[in-house]
Structure formats: C-alpha cells, structure tokens
C-alpha cells in the first residue's frame, strides 16, 4: 500500500507540474500549433504539421493517463506515466533537431532556442524516478549526438569539428549535472519534510503523555488489585471473574501502548481503508484526557458510508493537533464539536493555502471551537511551519502545517473558517 501512496504522489506532482497552470498550458500548446503553421509557411515542410499532431496527441495521452490514475496509482502506473512522458519529450525534440541541422540560419537559431527551452524545463521538473532521469538523458544524448553527427561533416576545418564536439559534450554534461543537483535538492527537501512530520508526531505523544499515564496507571491498579483479590478469595467463579477483569485491564493497557507505538513509528505511510465514524471514535478516546471540564464536547458522526484511504496513525496525529488547538482557543471554556460526514463538491474547493481540490465526493472531518476566532491579520500565516501565537514552550507551531500536509498527502486538503464566534477546521478526504 505504501508503494501505491508514493506512486500516487508522484503522478499528482507530474500532473500539477504539467497542467497545474492552465494559462501556461494553453500558451505551450498554442505555441507549438502556431509554430507548426509558421514553419510550414516558411519552409513548406509537411512534416511541420506532423510535429504539431504528434505533440498534441502525446500531450492528450499523458493528460488522460495522469488524470485517470493519479488518485490511486500503482508502481506500474508510475512506470507507464514515465514512458509516456519520454515519448512526449521525443515528440517535441525531433523537429528542433531537424531545424538546427538546416542550412537556413533562422531555422538553426530557432531550433537551438527550442532545445534550450526544453533543457530548462527538464531541470525545473527535478525528476527523481530513475526511469525518467535516465530516459531524459538518453533522449537528449541521442538528439545532441544526431545533430552533431549531421553538422560535423559539413565543416572541413578540424578545429571547427573539435569545437562542435566539445560544445555538444559540454551541453550534455551540464544538463546532467544540473538535473542531478535538482534531483538531490528535491530528495533532501522530501526527507526534511518527513523529519518535520516525525518531530510533530513526537510532540503529539508529549501532549498525550499526561492522559496516557493516567489511563495506564488505572489499568495497572486494576490488574494488580484483581490479581491480589484472586489469591484471597476461595470461590472459583469469583476467582475466574477477578482474573478476567485483570486480563481485560491488561488488554486495555496493551492497546494504549500499541497506539503510542503507532504514533512514534518511523515507517513509511501505509494507506488502508478507514471509516469516518470509527476515526472519530478513536480520536475521542485518545483526546478525552486533554479536554478540561470547562469544555463540553459534542460528537456528530454521520450514518452514511464514510470510507476513505488514509494512514490511520498519521491522520489521528493530525486530528489530535486540531483538537489541542481548539481547546487552547477556549481558555475560559466553551464547546468543542467534532463531526464527520460525506459531502459532494459541485465545484472546486479552495483550501487554506489557496490551492484547490476537484469536484467529487469527500469525507469531511471537522473540528469546531467556540473561541474568539483567529485574527484576520494572522490567518494567512497559520499554515507556516513554526508559526505560533502561543507562549514559548506551549506550542511548536507545526500542528496546522502538519495536518494540512497529511490531508494533502491523502489526496484531499484542509479549510479554515474563522470568526469571532469560533473557528472550524475541516479536513477533506476523497471517498474510497
């Protein structure tokens, strides 16, 4: 399941990179179409229309595949998407290569400019999948080699030939070096994000420690008390009952330990089917010791099918942070409302960071407080890591950013609605 999650994230990244800015996509496709027309008008090459046709078909195939598979992709889908992108790259590069080799100076300059554009674009993509990186290098090496094999015989001066060979090799070398550096930086950023997520999980454990210690102490008291009672009573049935009670308390303690280990583990995220109502029940059980008596709690779990894919431990860790923030927002007491239900979005939902999630069915898990709300002037900053208005030692400033990141990793997002009557934070997760 973790492979599926990783592949889905990669396909989502590719889709956002290629098609996340509709205006830029339109300019790119229109540019190739108009370029084909200009090239045909200037040269009379019928292959100019073939260039435009193959490029648009490759783009349409790539778009359809990413859009249809990005939500629940497998490693096989990731490989197929990578191969389609390599074909897309080839569908663009062959015409600039022909233009560079033409004797017409204008065609050579335009072809060189197009090759430069694609090199910058590939560095910006900062791909990490080996099949894509090796494929890009192989395609570019082939194109550059073909160009220089065609051009070098046109020159008789050995220094001219040597210069062309050196320049071609330098171009390929610096592209590979830039691509490697870009790939390294993206991997380091992803690892830093994982470390940040792990630190926030440990902070969540710290906030749970007081309540867990209380529950664990109660379980130990029950175990020891019933075992001691079992040694004193003579009635066999009462002795069995006492032992059963001790066993039940031991299982409760083991469950608490298992939950803590789930939060503390450093394993890769594992997606599994979850149910909104069940997640709410687990959240209440974990946070009941964190909610003071001055705060009343109201739980509303819808009765409809609320299935979605998520890593339960990561999701609960994020929701615990939201509950803690809600409680902190009500120092004088108030009402905490936790709810889950299925909603259908008729239009794209704008998230807290300005991005959007698409039309469709989502499980919405909301945490609502009756505090004074988030001041308007700091609302744009609340998702920033380490941003907090709490006193030193009272908060890490990572809770909301971590919750938002987790919701995005599961294919959804997070919204914030705040006023003087309170704040509602909703996590949207695509239904399974």
Residue 358 maps to which CATH number? 3.30.565.10
Judge contact between 133 and 187, C-beta under 8 A: no
List, for residues 23-69, the tens digit of each pLDDT value.
888 888 898 999 999 999 999 999 999 999 999 999 999 999 988 88
Residue 40: predicted pLDDT: 93
Q: Are residues 424 and 313 in the same domain?
A: yes
The percent helix, strand, coil of the chain (3-state, each to 5) is 65, 15, 20
Structural domain includes residue 308: yes
Q: pLDDT tier at 204 (50, 70, 90 boundaries)?
A: low
DSSP structural state of residue 103: S
User: What are the Cα distances from residue 219, in Å, to 98, 215, 263?
Assistant: 77, 6, 21
Question: Is there a single domain that holds both residue 346 and residue 418?
Answer: yes
Q: Are residues 9 and 33 in the same domain?
A: yes
If pLDDT is split at 50, 70 and 90, which confidence band does 4 have?
A: very low
Residue at 229 is within a domain: yes
Whether residue 284 is found in the same domain as residue 395: yes
What is the total count of domains within the chain? Answer: 3
Same domain membership, residue 422 and residue 292: yes
Q: Is 188 inside a domain boundary?
A: no
| Mean pLDDT over each residue of the chain, to the nearest integer | 82
**Average of pLDDT values for 264-277?**
72
The structure tokens 């454990």 sit at 205
- Judge whether residue 259 has pLDDT over 60: no
| Count of C-beta atoms within a 10 Å radius of residue 254 | 11
Task: Tell me which residue of 366, 368, 367, 365 sits closest to 306, measured CA to CA.
Answer: 365
Rounded (10°) CA dihedral 189, 195, 199, 205? 130
Based on the number of CB atoms within 10 Å of its own CB, is 76 exposed (0-12), middle (13-18) or buried (19 or more)?
exposed
Are 230 and 341 in the same domain? no
Are residues 296 and 413 both part of a single domain?
A: yes
pLDDT tens digits for 272-285?
889 998 999 888 88
Instruction: Please tell me the predicted confidence (pLDDT) of residue 203.
Output: 62
Per the domain annotation, does 90 fall within a domain?
yes
Residue 81 sits in the same domain as residue 148 = yes
Q: Are residues 280 and 408 in the same domain?
A: yes
Any idea what the Cα angle at residue 106 is, between residues 100 and 110, rounded to 5°?
Answer: 55
Give the pLDDT of residue 205.
58
Domain extent for 312? 272-430
pLDDT of residue 263: 47
Whether residue 33 is found in the same domain as residue 137:
yes
Q: Domain holding 259: CATH number?
A: 1.10.287
Answer whether residue 294 is part of any domain.
yes
109 pLDDT tier (thresholds 50, 70, 90): very high
pLDDT, tens digit (0-9, with 9 covering 90-100), for 126-162 = 777 778 888 888 898 898 888 888 888 888 888 888 8
The Cα–Cα gap between 126 and 123 comes to 5
């Amino acid at each position: 399941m973790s492979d599926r999650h990783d592949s889905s994230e990669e396909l989502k990244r590719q889709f956002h990179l290629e098609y996340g800015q509709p205006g830029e996509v339109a300019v790119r496709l229109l540019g190739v179409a108009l370029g084909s027309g200009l090239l045909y008008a200037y040269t009379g090459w019928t292959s100019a229309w073939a260039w435009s046709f193959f490029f648009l078909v490759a783009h349409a195939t790539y778009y359809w595949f990413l859009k249809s598979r990005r939500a629940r992709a497998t490693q096989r889908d990731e490989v197929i998407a990578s191969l389609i992108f390599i074909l897309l790259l080839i569908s663009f590069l062959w015409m600039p290569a022909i233009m560079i080799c033409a004797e017409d100076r204008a065609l050579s300059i335009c072809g060189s400019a197009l090759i430069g554009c694609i090199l910058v674009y590939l560095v910006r993509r900062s791909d990490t999948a080996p099949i894509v990186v090796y494929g890009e290098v192989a395609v570019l090496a082939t194109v550059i080699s073909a160009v220089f094999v065609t051009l070098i015989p046109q020159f008789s001066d050995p220094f001219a030939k040597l210069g062309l060979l050196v320049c071609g090799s330098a171009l390929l070398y610096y592209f590979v070096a830039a691509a490697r550096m870009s790939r390294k930086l993206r991997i380091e950023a992803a690892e830093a994000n994982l470390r940040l997520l792990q630190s926030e999980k440990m902070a969540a454990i710290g906030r749970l420690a007081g309540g867990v210690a209380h529950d664990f102490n109660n379980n130990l008291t029950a175990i020891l008390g019933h075992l001691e009672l079992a040694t004193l009573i003579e009635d066999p049935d009462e002795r069995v009952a006492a032992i059963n009670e001790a066993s039940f308390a031991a299982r409760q303690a083991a469950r608490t330990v298992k939950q803590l280990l789930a939060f503390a583990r450093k394993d890769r995220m594992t997606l599994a089917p979850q149910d909104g109502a069940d997640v709410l029940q687990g959240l209440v059980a974990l946070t009941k010791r964190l909610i003071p008596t001055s705060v009343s709690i109201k739980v509303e779990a819808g009765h409809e099918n609320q299935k979605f894919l998520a890593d339960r431990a990561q999701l609960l860790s994020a929701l615990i942070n939201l509950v803690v923030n809600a409680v902190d927002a009500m120092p004088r007491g108030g009402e905490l409302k936790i709810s889950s239900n299925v909603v259908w979005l008729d239009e794209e939902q704008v998230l807290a960071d300005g991005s959007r999630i698409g039309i469709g069915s989502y499980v919405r898990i909301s945490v609502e407080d009756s505090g004074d709300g988030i001041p308007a002037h700091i609302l744009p900053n609340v998702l920033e890591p380490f941003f907090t208005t709490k006193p030193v030692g009272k908060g890490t400033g990572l809770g909301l950013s971590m919750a938002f990141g987790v919701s995005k990793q599961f294919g959804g997002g997070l919204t914030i609605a705040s006023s003087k009557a309170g704040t509602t934070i909703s996590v949207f997760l695509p239904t399974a």
